[in-house]
Amino acid sequence: MPTMLIGKEGNRIEDRLSGLVTDTIEYRSKYVDPEHTFWKDLVVPVLSQVNRTHLAQASGLDRRTIQRLLSGRTQPRSHSRRLLTQLAIEYARTALLNREVAVPTDPMGVLRNGAI
């Protein structure tokens, strides 16, 4: 699971003390740890199990691009990220079914359990 760092709750302190702001979403800052992302922690481990040539054919990306993405040397563009994430979910779901393991209903659970 990606790590979510949050800022100190000193933001909008006067508004909070007076009761104008009560929801943490209105004053808490969130910072995503770049070392732990959905892509890196869940998608890449599943895609790493798939043949690079198959991934290239299924995604329409060059095989070398696939290599760079999986090694972390480059980050995928949003369209490629969505497509590769969907391919990872499909692969993980198939892998779970082949192992006769219950398939989670949510994509995150499928990816988490589909990476061996």
Q: Where are the domains of the chain?
A: 1-36, 37-116
pTM above 0.85, yes or no: no
Instruction: Tell me if 92 sits within 8 A of 115, measured CB to CB.
Output: yes
CA of residue 36 relative to chain centroid, distance:
9
Chain centre to alpha carbon of residue 61: 19
Tokens of 104: 């989670």
> What does the alpha-carbon distance between residue 111 and residue 105 come to, in Å, rounded to a whole number?
11
pLDDT at 4: 55
40-68 pLDDT, tens digit per residue, is 999 999 999 999 999 999 999 999 999 99
**pLDDT value at residue 17:** 72
Q: What is the pLDDT of residue 7?
A: 56
Neighbours of 75 (CB within 10 A): 13
- C-beta separation of 43 from 84 below 8 A: yes
User: What are the respective helix, strand and coil percentages of the chain, to the nearest 5?
Assistant: 55, 5, 40
- For residue 110 the two structure tokens come to 């499928």
The HSE-up count of residue 77 (CA atoms within 13 Å, CB side) is 5
Distance CA 41, CA 102 (A): 21
Q: Which residues of the chain have pLDDT under 50?
A: none
